[in-house]
Amino acid sequence: MRDKWYSDHRDLVKWATLVHLAQLSQIDSVIQVAFYESDHAKLKLTVSNTDVPFPSEVLSHFRNLENVKRLGRLARLTIRIFKEPFCDVLKGTDKREVRRRYFERAMSVANAFRPKPIIFFLDPDTGMAPKNFSRKHITAEEMGDVFRDLKRGDWLVFYQHARRASGWRMSTGVAFARSIGMKRREILVCHCEDVARDVVFFAARKK
């Protein structure tokens, strides 16, 4: 997740889904695992062929994931964003181990809200990896590990971008259910065709 994507049409569906689940389940805490990658350093403003600093006030207003906390106040939710940069390629280290530690740190943030149930929202750029994976994905194995560490009554929700293959919603739902040891019919599929046809949010509540 990058700051430049905050408040786009997919975010509208994203937070509608999360607020709905929170209200449905009477949960008051959402932890967004942002898979964060900063893009502020790449911005520049050119004035008459001269580069000048991009005003930080403008970036803070339009390109700041933290701004969603204002929604939290309106919806009576505590929204915590795990904004640690997500990098799964470090020279000389094992990629899977780096990623495992990332999710462990995210879960430690979630545990600060115990003993109340939470919504644990995974927000990778692309979604669940079909086979090969990169920093844009979460793998089925990682999904299972995260779900195992959640508590009874917690929701696990994740962002899924459309795949090129037909039937991608069904196949992803089946893979998600399998990864967390649940049945496909127990998975919620949330989307809004009027706003963003290329994104779906899958959700499962731990029993």
What are the tens digits of pLDDT across the range 87-145?
755 555 568 888 899 999 999 999 998 899 999 999 998 999 887 777 888 999 999 99
Q: Would you state the structure tokens that stand for residue 98, as one six-digit string?
A: 């780096």
Instruction: Please spell the DSSP secondary structure of 147-164, one letter per residue.
Output: HHHSPTT-EEEEEEEPPS
In the three-class reduction of DSSP (H, G, I as helix; E, B as strand; rest coil), residue 81 is classed as strand
- pLDDT tier for residue 37 given thresholds of 50, 70 and 90: confident
At 87 the pLDDT is: 72
Residue 39 has pLDDT above 70, yes or no: no
pTM, entire model = 0.86
- pLDDT tier for residue 23 given thresholds of 50, 70 and 90: very high
What are the tens digits of pLDDT across the range 142-175?
999 999 999 999 999 999 998 888 889 999 999 9
Mean pLDDT to the nearest integer, 75-94: 79
Mean pLDDT to the nearest integer, 174-203: 94
Mean pLDDT across the chain, nearest whole number?
88
In the three-class reduction of DSSP (H, G, I as helix; E, B as strand; rest coil), residue 168 is classed as helix
Residue 35 has pLDDT above 70, yes or no: yes
Contact 13, 199 (CB under 8 A): yes
In the three-class reduction of DSSP (H, G, I as helix; E, B as strand; rest coil), residue 61 is classed as helix
Q: Where are the domains of the chain?
A: 3-205
Residue 194 has pLDDT above 80, yes or no: yes
How many Å is the Cα radius of gyration of the chain? 18
Domain 3-205 has CATH 3.40.50: yes
Mean pLDDT to the nearest integer, 62-70: 80
Residue 177 has pLDDT above 70, yes or no: yes
